[in-house]
Amino acid sequence: MLTPPDINLEELDACGLWKAAVKTTTELLKIFPFPEFFNSTAANLAKLLGADGVALIVYDGPDRLKYKLFYGLDRIKQESIVKFSFPASKGTVGHVLTSGQYLFTQDYQHSEDSMPEFVDAGLRSNLVLPLPGPNGFIGAIAIAWIHRQSGPLEAANLAIAEMFAALVGVSVYREELERQLEDNSLTDPLTRLPNRRMLMMRLASAQRRACRNQSLMVLALLDLDGFKIVNDQLGHAAGDQKLLAVASALRGAVRDIDMIGRLGGDEFVVILEDLMSLHEVKTILDRIVRAVDRDANQNQDCYKVTASLGATIYPIDFSEPELLLKHADDAMYVAKRIGGNQFYIASREDAAKE
């Protein structure tokens, strides 16, 4: 654990404690990644309050909560509660998120808000504070006394704990924004499928796995026949709905280990892994083409789209990712030239023409 700046808590008055806490937490937040910031600042907070540890609780979906980070709670079996998810209205945390106010429970084991899992773990007292976000509360921190019950809380110490909760709330929100930005940089905004950047990362990994497992990996690129007519005659909103229908059809046609992505426009990519024969490859490619024909045209049969699919097989086509994509693209144009609504697999001779 990173060591926070030393503070002699015994020598500071209430005002000094507040200033020291502000300085310490803000400086840590500038310097450290969030988990290190949480641990380092929680160490000071636990020391200040005479507590045994601090836990961070965040939302796990709209109506449930989960424990995300712990500091100092060695006596609680963390493995059992790391995966513990509970209703957002339950326990002292649920009480706090409902009321919007902190809750100090000096005798946790006899509290009406206690939860059996934590009574059994030996929790004696806790202080729960909500984490503020821009649109409401985004979670809570729980400060825990395991070895003994807490004494009364001083107003200055409680104010510092509330400041800590505010800083943690900012950090959690920032971390979530950064995660969303990263997801957006790897995801197509319309279909929520992986975009080109993510596909190329996955493709390189899939090549390594194919070599390691001595299996076949297929890179397939498909372009939609008839999509321009949908866009031109029905408009882009209808085109977007057709793309969403194609994405859904592709998801239903491949296995869990495979990956679907969107390059842009009406071009999609499929990475198929762990295949052992050409027959297996052809079976899946045929299933993909048929799925688009069947499942993407249920509501507008007069504006039908189908798939022209080109594929190349690694390591038969022992090329780098960008060249594999080009070979699949070339094969896709062959499928389109010979009538569409079918697949074409690039041959060794096709790859040798480079």
Which structure tokens are listed for 141? 């921190």
Give whichever of 63-77, 84-98, 162-176, 320-334 has the largest mean pLDDT. 320-334
pLDDT above 50 (res 5):
no
pLDDT band at 4 (very low <50, low <70, confident <90, very high): very low
Give whichever of 17-31, 150-164, 268-282 has the largest mean pLDDT. 268-282
Q: What percent of the chain has pLDDT over 90?
A: 50
**What is the per-residue pLDDT across 108-156, written as a single tens digit (0 to 9) for each?**
999 999 988 788 878 899 999 998 887 888 899 999 998 789 999 988 8
**Helix H segments across the chain?**
14-31, 34-49, 78-82, 91-99, 116-120, 155-186, 196-213, 227-234, 236-253, 278-295, 321-337, 348-352
pLDDT of residue 2: 43
Which structure tokens are listed for 70? 């712990």
pLDDT band at 75 (very low <50, low <70, confident <90, very high): low
- What gap in Å lies between CA 185 and CA 196, rounded to an integer? 10
pLDDT of residue 353: 59
pLDDT of residue 320: 93
Stated length of the chain: 354
Active-site positions read: 266
Domains in the chain with CATH codes: 9-185 (3.30.450.40), 196-352 (3.30.70.270)
- What gap in Å lies between CA 29 and CA 259, rounded to an integer? 37
pTM above 0.85, yes or no: no
pLDDT above 80 (res 350):
no
pLDDT of residue 222: 96
Instruction: State the DSSP string of 52-114.
Output: SEEEEEEESSSSEEEEEEEES-TTS-HHHHHT-EEETTSHHHHHHHHH-S-EEESSGGG-TT-
Q: What is the mean pLDDT of the chain?
A: 85
- What gap in Å lies between CA 197 and CA 194, rounded to an integer? 8
Place of tokens 């084991």: 109
> In the 8-state DSSP scheme, what is residue 215?
-
Q: What is the mean pLDDT of residues 34-44?
A: 84
Across 67-71, 73-77, 201-205, least confident range: 73-77
Measured at the CA of 120, the angle between CA 114 and CA 123, to 5 degrees, comes to 60
- What gap in Å lies between CA 36 and CA 41, rounded to an integer? 8
More confident residue, 217 or 297: 217
User: Closest Cα partner for 18 from 6, 9, 30, 31?
Assistant: 9
Task: For residue 350, give every residue at least 6 positions away whose Cβ sits within 8 Å of its Cβ, in sequence order, or none.
Answer: 327, 330, 331
- What gap in Å lies between CA 118 and CA 115, rounded to an integer? 6
pLDDT above 60 (res 194):
yes
Cβ atoms of 163 and 21 within 8 Å: the answer is yes
